[in-house]
Amino acid sequence: MRRLCSYLPPLISLLLLSSVLSYGQAWSGILDPARAVDWTQAGIPGGIPSGSWTQCGSTIASGASTTTIQNALNACTANHFVLLGAGTFTLSSSIHSNISNIVLRGSGPTQTTIILNGHDILMGSGSSGQGSDPTAGLTATNLSTFAQGSTVLTVASTAGMSANQVVQIDQLNDTNYVNVVGNEGTENAGRCGTSGFSGCSTRAQLELVQIASVSDSTHITIKAPGLSHTYNSGLSPQVFFWSSSGIASNDGVENMTVDAGTVTTSDFAVSFSFCNFCWAKNIAVINGHRAAIYFLWSYRNEVRDSYVSESNGPGGPTEYGIECDTCSLAKIENNILFGVTSPLMIETSYGVVMGYNYMLNTSSGNQFPNIDTHRVHNFLLLSEGNIAGTLGWDFIWGSGSQNTSFRSRYNGNDPNKTNYQLPVADSAWNRYANFVGNVLGDPTFHKTYECTNVNQQPSNNFIYEIGFFNRCEVGTSGYDATTLSSLMRWGNWDAATYCTNGGHSGIACGSTGSNGIRFCK
């Protein structure tokens, strides 16, 4: 009988500590500074502010028309909320707002239900669905400050910039980190010069930052944590920005159930488009289709204390729970997601913190990643304290880098799964990943520590799949050895070796006894 290592009880105790410790702990001395960012900056500064706001107009009674709700939102002014009473509201069109500092609030998720009926709820730019991109004032100016953490930046011109404006910083792709051709091809991410926000892939690693002040014609100060990484002067770093007119901030959806129903045109049930410091709190989104809660090109947003459920059916991973599309420093914390093919879907994002979420899918068939990076280039993400089946840093549409998983539990074997049952898939071109203090695998299923190009396995009962363009057990069209050589593993307990590995090498601890089973020294 295999005995547990003495490391396991304190490791589990660490995993179960309250979120008081969430991502606020210093990683200095464990992670190289180039592999991390100040994750305490993620989410809304000071927390969601709407608790002290006052009601706008009278409470809207059950059964009121969509026009009544829309008119109430249009009439609302800053630091107010529109309150829906107990009961059911069925939409006849989408409802939306691009006025800053307002909330659409229900009387509680067990009291207020909005039936989308083929429509959606949108806060930010646009009027429905994913929203729309700003078109006015698209401008790029050269950046000549390069060091990671810098907050005072020298630019070619500050014309058109202002304090509190959110802007984008990018450069031409650094091919040491960024590969835009994934296993299934290229899905363009990033702007095409100043003609739009997407459609090209030459600047696929980007971050959104907020200007604190404009000092003069060539200097701005940005807010912490400063530049996310060190930029390369030879790759034409730039600041890209747009008119702030019509850009919303500090908007929220709270305290209600949103039922996407059977009409599949409700692809984006609750959306936040170009909506900075915006949030969803204490909502339940049920019967979702494409995305239950969706953010597009947004800065320091938050989803917390919410519940998402979808079909819990088998099939391809085009059913997402919380989807962050080009987000910077967002926070997704303390949510439950059930029956969703890909509960947390992160795309072309930076510094997103996913903390203390619970995810479960019990449908038969493939085990798709519960936490998934999908589309070039996700970097400096943090998964902390999550309970899920599989973490996937994927290479389907391109690369990612410097992403961290800390004290999370990935069992790799959700109920009724028959394929792809593994706790961690760190795919090709997801370089410089960090795994620290996680609990990995199912002792009744996982028997092998890792699958690499020198250790391919005939079945999928391994803990780590590392460096493959495709899947380890079914062959591959390519392998990225740097994903393995740059991987940092420390203090993770796994069900294959029953040991906690230490050091940077990632080699499983223990030795083999006469019965062929590893034990702890």
Q: pLDDT tens, 238-271?
A: 999 999 887 899 999 999 999 998 887 888 999 9
**Beta strands in 108-205, from DSSP E residues, in sequence order:** 112-115, 121-124, 139-142, 152-154, 166-170
**Mean pLDDT on 82-90:** 98
Share of the chain above pLDDT 90, in %: 77
Identify the pLDDT of residue 475: 60
**Mean pLDDT on 198-209:** 96
pLDDT for residue 501 is more than 70? no
Q: Give the C-alpha separation, 279 to 271, whole Å.
A: 10
Give the best-scoring range by mean pLDDT among 9-23, 144-158, 362-376.
144-158
Identify the pLDDT of residue 455: 84
pLDDT in tens, 409-426: 999 999 999 989 999 999
- Residues contacting 1, CB < 8 A, separation 6+: none
pLDDT for residue 24 is more than 80? no
pLDDT for residue 204 is more than 70? yes
Identify the pLDDT of residue 500: 60
Q: Give the C-alpha separation, 395 to 381, whole Å.
A: 15
**Mean pLDDT on 203-214:** 98
- Which residues make beta-bridge pairs with 257? 113, 284
pLDDT in tens, 106-136: 999 999 999 999 999 999 999 888 899 999 9
CA angle 345, 351, 356 (to 5 degrees): 60
CB 517 within 8 A of CB 12: no
Element holding 8 (H helix, E strand):
helix 8-15
**What are the tokens at 417?**
């799964």
CA angle 505, 509, 515 (to 5 degrees): 145
pLDDT for residue 516 is more than 50? no
Q: What is the dihedral of CA 179, 184, 186, 190, to 10 degrees?
A: -80
* Mode of pairing for the β-strands spanning 302-304 and 499-500: unpaired
Identify the pLDDT of residue 26: 65
Q: Give the C-alpha separation, 186 to 195, whole Å.
A: 20
Identify the pLDDT of residue 30: 86
Q: Give the C-alpha separation, 375 to 36, whole Å.
A: 20
> What average pLDDT is seen over the chain?
89
